[in-house]
Amino acid sequence: MLLAIVFTIIKILIVITCTLLGVAYMTWAERKVIGAMQVRLGPTHVGWKGLLQPIADGLKLVVKEDLTPDMVDKPVFIIAPLLGMVPALASFAVIPFAETFTVFGMEIQPYITDLNIGLLYVLALSSVGTYALIMSGWASNSKYALLGSLRSSAQVVSYETAMGLSLVGPALLAGSLSLRDITLAQQGLWFVIPQFVAFIVYMISAVAETNRAPFDLPEAETEIVAGFHVEYSSMKFALFFLAEYANMYLVSALAVVMFLGGWNGPILPPLVWFIGKVLVLMFFYLWLRATLPRLRFDQLMGLGWKILIPIALANILVTSIVVYIVR
């Protein structure tokens, strides 16, 4: 029992460390990739090829003065960034990174836990992350922050629906909500093939869910300064920043588990497959950001409610009928 607890704690530390490192280097990768797509170089100065840039950025943010404006709602103002970061990291508890393997006669599970409602847990936590945006906008006592947070809450609420509905299809096919069972169900055929429509809907919703371009309305620099984190500085701002990227990793990992067969793949070890798929999806994120302009807000809501949700519902209907007939 004690050994199990120690093991879990070690695994949690490993996962959080890897996630934070991945988040830091995703900022570097983003600058590099978008720079390359705009025929620039991106960061090159700090370290070899700018590889120490995220560490320098982190140091800079830690050293900066942490100022709290007057008239803010202090407790809410302080809780908001934490509330953004914690769910994003906590969701990684149920992501199955690889198949169990045996070392020295001990069975090691390379994931923190295997909840039988893992999918529900992830969706629930991702909606908790919305509160961070709402609370930060409200507590900042600034019209721009409030506008940004209102936009983001509207956006996240509408796209949460499409995202959840699109995830129902794979869950129906696998007959389970446990992410590990869903991965095991894809050993023969990845769900991206029978559930291609759901995959497209999920990817669009996921980009909208994480407030990234082309759906980065809450942070629209050109319209409302910076959106919900306009009044934040120093480490609080860094937390928002990290939460955004951690969420990107999360939805990518979830897409890999639900649609792209998780750790399944020939030749290479499972963990390499998993990480490789996640990184491909992350690259797709950056690629989209370098390509597409921002949507108008009514277009965004129209896309969510009028197009994605009906398509996701139709997909569920068809999937359910097929699954019913086959079983």
Partner 1 sequence: MKNVFDTFFFTEILQGLGVTMKHFFKKKVTYKYPYEDTPVFPRFRGIQYIKTDEEGVTKCVGCYLCQVVCPSECIHIVTDCGHKGQRLIRKYELDLSRCIYCGYCEEACPVDAIHMGRDYHTVDNTRDNYVVNMKTLTQNYKKEQKMAEAKGEQL
Question: Looking at 292, 314, 317, 321, which residue binds partner 1 (CB under 8 A)?
Answer: 292
Do the beta carbons of residue 208 and residue 166 sit within 8 Å? Answer: no
3-state secondary structure at position 101: strand
Query: Does the footprint of partner 1 cover residue 308 (CB under 8 A)?
Result: no
The reply on whether position 37 binds partner 1 by CB under 8 A is yes
Q: Specify the residue, 38 or 299, whose C-beta has the smaller distance to partner 1.
A: 38
Residues near partner 1 (CB under 8 A), total: 14
Q: Running DSSP on this structure, what letter comes out for residue 93?
A: G
Q: Which of 17, 100, 116, 291 binds partner 1 (CB under 8 A)?
A: 291
Of 76 and 301, nearer to partner 1 (C-beta) is 301
287 part of the interface to partner 1, by CB under 8 A: yes
Stretch that binds partner 1, among 87-95, 111-119, 171-179, 290-298 (CB under 8 A): 290-298
Query: Would you count residue 40 as binding partner 1 (CB under 8 A)?
Result: yes
Q: Should residue 36 be labelled a site residue for partner 1 when binding is judged by CB under 8 A?
A: yes
196 scored as a contact of partner 1 (CB under 8 A): no
What is the distance, to the nearest Å, from the Cα of residue 97 to the centroid of all Cα atoms in its chain?
15
Q: C-alpha distances in angstroms, 195 versus 46, 169, 285?
A: 44, 7, 21
Question: Of 165 and 204, which CB lies nearer to partner 1 in the complex structure?
Answer: 204
290 makes contact with partner 1 (CB under 8 A): yes
Residue (283 or 297) nearer to partner 1, CB = 283
Number of alpha carbons in the 13 Å side-chain half-sphere of residue 287: 6
- Interface residue with partner 1 among 39, 103, 267, 326 (CB under 8 A) is 39
Q: Which residues contact 256 (CB under 8 A, 6 or more apart)?
A: 262, 274, 277, 278, 281
Binding status of residue 41 toward partner 1 by CB under 8 A? yes
Residue 83, token pair as written in the block? 């509330």
Q: What is the C-alpha separation between 42 and 35, in angstroms, rounded? A: 5
Give the integer Cα–Cα distance in Å for 4 and 23.
28
